[in-house]
Amino acid sequence: MMHHQHSVIAIDGPAASGKSSVSRRLSSRLGYLHVNSGIMYRALTWSVLRSGIQTGDSGAVVNHLDGLDICCGISGEEATLTVDGIDPGSELKSSEVNTGVSTVSKIPEVRDVLVAKQREYLDVADIVMEGRDIGSVVFPETPYKFYIDASAEIRAKRRMDEGIEDNLAERDAVDSGRETSPLVIAENAVVIDTSEMTLEEVLLELIDRLREQGLDILN
C-alpha cells in the first residue's frame, strides 16, 4: 500500500559502479532530491571509530547509535547529515571508514534505525536514492528500480583514479554476503552494466527506461 504521493527512483549496485555520479545527474535533471544512503552508514562508522569503539563489537556499536543524534536534512537538491551537530564532510570517505563501514552495516539494529530515516525523505520530496538495498528493502514498492554495475577491474580503476584508498572487493563481499538486506538485484530492477559507458550514456539510458516505465519526464 502506498502511503504517499511522491516518486522514488532506487539506484543500487556495488562500490564505484557510478551510483553517486549518476544519481546526482538524474536527480538534477528531474528536479528530484538526491539521497545517498551510504553516507548514513559511513557517518555512523566515522562516529564509532572516533569514539574508540571496535566496529566488530556490535553491542557497543548499537549502544553508541542509541545515544547518537544523526540528523538528516535537505539543502537544495541534496540530502544533508550531521552527527551530534557535526558534518563529517570528507572524513566520510577516509580509508578508515572504508575499512570499517561494511562491518557496521551488517548489524540488523543499525539497518532498522537508518532505513527508518531513509524512508522519511519520501514524505517530503520526490527522490533518487542510492545504496545497496533501496529497491529490495527500503522502497520495494517503487516501480523504478535500477542495479548499476561494472566489472571489478573497471570499478577498482575508477576509485584509484579518484585517488581514494578503498577495499572494494572486501566491502562487496561483506555487503553481498550478509544476512540482513544483502546487496542483490531487486525483483524487476533494470540492470545496467556501465563498464563501457560514459556517465552521460548511463543517464540517457536511465531516462529512456524511466519513460518506458511511464514516468512523466519533460523534454
Residues engaged in binding ligand CDP (CB under 6 A): 13, 15-21, 37-38, 41-42, 101-102, 105, 131-134, 158, 162, 171, 175, 194, 197-199, 202
Least distance (Å) between residue 214 CB and ligand CDP: 25
Q: Cβ closer to ligand CDP: 159 or 218?
A: 159
Minimal distance, residue 13 CB to ligand CDP, in Å: 6
- Residue 135 one-letter amino acid: G
Q: Is the Cβ of residue 129 or residue 218 nearer to ligand CDP in the bound state? A: 129
Quote the least distance from Cβ 151 to ligand CDP, whole Å. Answer: 12
Shortest CB 2 distance to ligand CDP, Å: 21
Rounded alpha-carbon distances, angstroms, from residue 165 to 15, 77, 104, 176: 12, 28, 19, 20
CB count in 10 Å sphere of residue 163: 6
Beta bridge partners of residue 37, listed in sequence order: none
Which of residues 21 and 94 has its CB atom nearest to ligand CDP in the complex?
Answer: 21
| Cell numbers linked to 44 | 555512523
Question: Could you tell me the smallest distance in angstroms from the CB atom of residue 165 to ligand CDP?
Answer: 12
Question: Measured from the CB atom, is 34 or 42 closer to ligand CDP?
Answer: 42
Q: Which is nearer to ligand CDP, 37 or 47 (CB)?
A: 37
Beta-bridged to residue 71, according to DSSP, are 82
Nearest to 70 by CA among 92, 52, 99: 92
Label residue 69 exposed, middle or buried (CB < 10 Å: 0-12, 13-18, 19+). Answer: exposed
Q: Least Å distance between CB 193 and ligand CDP?
A: 10
C-alpha span between 144 and 3 (Å, rounded): 17
For 112, how many CA atoms within 13 A lie in the half-sphere containing its CB? 6
Task: Compare residues 15 and 214 and give the one whose CB is closer to ligand CDP.
Answer: 15
In sequence order, the β-bridge partners of residue 193 are 149
